[in-house]
Chains A and B, each alone.
Chain A
Amino acid sequence: MLAEVIFYLLAALTLGSAMIVAFSRNIIYSAFALLGTFMGVVGVYLLLAADFVAMVQLLIYVGGILVLTIFAVMLTAGIADVTVSNRAVGGVPAIITIGIVGLVMVFAVYRTPWHQASEVTVDPTTYGIGNAFLSEYVLPFEVASLVLLASLIGALVISRREAKD
């Protein structure tokens, strides 16, 4: 019962903020509503006993990506003008497309007999995730560090200004 109440509160926070992100006419409101969505997803992870993933989400999404997005919004001028900042086109075809996709996905979710464990075990996940990273997933882990290095250098190369000489 308590879990249900918490789930519906978190779902309302997540989806309400996501609706502001998707439908708001002002890009600033969209950027700040993203905070509500990310915090709601953190709550969902905690409800699912994924403590480490929740903390990673908090650090990287809220602490990094959100701040970066707000910076980018602030750095591009003309944001006060709604027609410039958040023009939305093609609403009706988009809604039709999304309706069809959504119906197919709801059908898939409810018709598929998902494999579920009969008993759910809950214990701290950090130990298991650390072991998985350094044994079973060591190759993706190393490739991930390469991807991060490449994106670091790439962002520097893209955003630098040409030297005037």
Chain B
Amino acid sequence: MGGVTLNHFLVLGLLLFLLGSYCVLTRRNAIGILMGVELILNSANINYVAFAYFGGGRYDGQVFAIFVIMLAAAEAVIGLAVVLGIYQNFKTIDVGAAETLRG
């Protein structure tokens, strides 16, 4: 593939991971944190597919990327259901406000 090497894709995934980490670390909005998690999962998937391509024709990396996408869907469903439950109880989705476990 021309001059595009494995390292190009690894650095792309790395930068995406760092942006997602920043999002998770600094956001106080629970939905914003979930968006950061989606960025991190996407960066991991880029690495899986890049290794599958440059590792020579095996499908293991792509199969695991599909498993990660499936788990991301389950995570988004449960996470957003929890966030909406928090919103119904506390009238806010600031994660600092929902630190009590009493519900």
- Residues in A lying within 8 Å of B, measured CB to CB: 1-4, 7, 11, 14-15, 18-19, 21-22, 27, 30-31, 34, 37-38, 41, 44-45, 47-50, 52-53, 56-57, 60-61, 64-65, 68-69, 71-73, 75-76, 78, 84-91, 94-95, 97-98, 101-102, 105-106, 109-110, 114-121, 125, 128-129, 132-133, 137, 140, 144, 147-148, 151-152, 154-155, 158-159
Q: Which residue of B lies closest to A148 (CB)?
A: B74
Known: A85-B29, A158-B82. A1 touches B3 (CB 8 A): yes
How many of B's residues come within 8 Å of A, CB to CB? 71
Instruction: Report the minimal beta-carbon distance from B100 to chain A, rounded to whole angstroms.
Output: 18
A94 interface neighbour in B6, B26, B63, B83, Cβ under 8 Å = B26
Our pick among A2, A49, A65, A101 for the contact of B21 (Cβ within 8 Å) is A101
On whether A22 and B74 interact (CB within 8 A), knowing A52-B62, A98-B21, the answer reads: no
Given contacts A22-B36, A64-B73, A76 and B93 within 8 Å (CB-CB)? yes
Q: Within 8 Å CB of B70, what residues of A?
A: 60, 144, 147-148
Give the A-B pair count, Cβ closer than 8 A.
Answer: 221
Q: Is the CB of B69 within 8 A of A94?
A: no
Kindly provide the distance from the CB of A70 to the nearest chain B CB, expressed in whole angstroms: 10
Q: Do B18 and A101 touch (CB < 8 A)? A: yes
Q: Which chain A residue has the least Cβ–Cβ distance from B15?
A: A15
CB distance from B75 to the nearest CB of A (A): 8
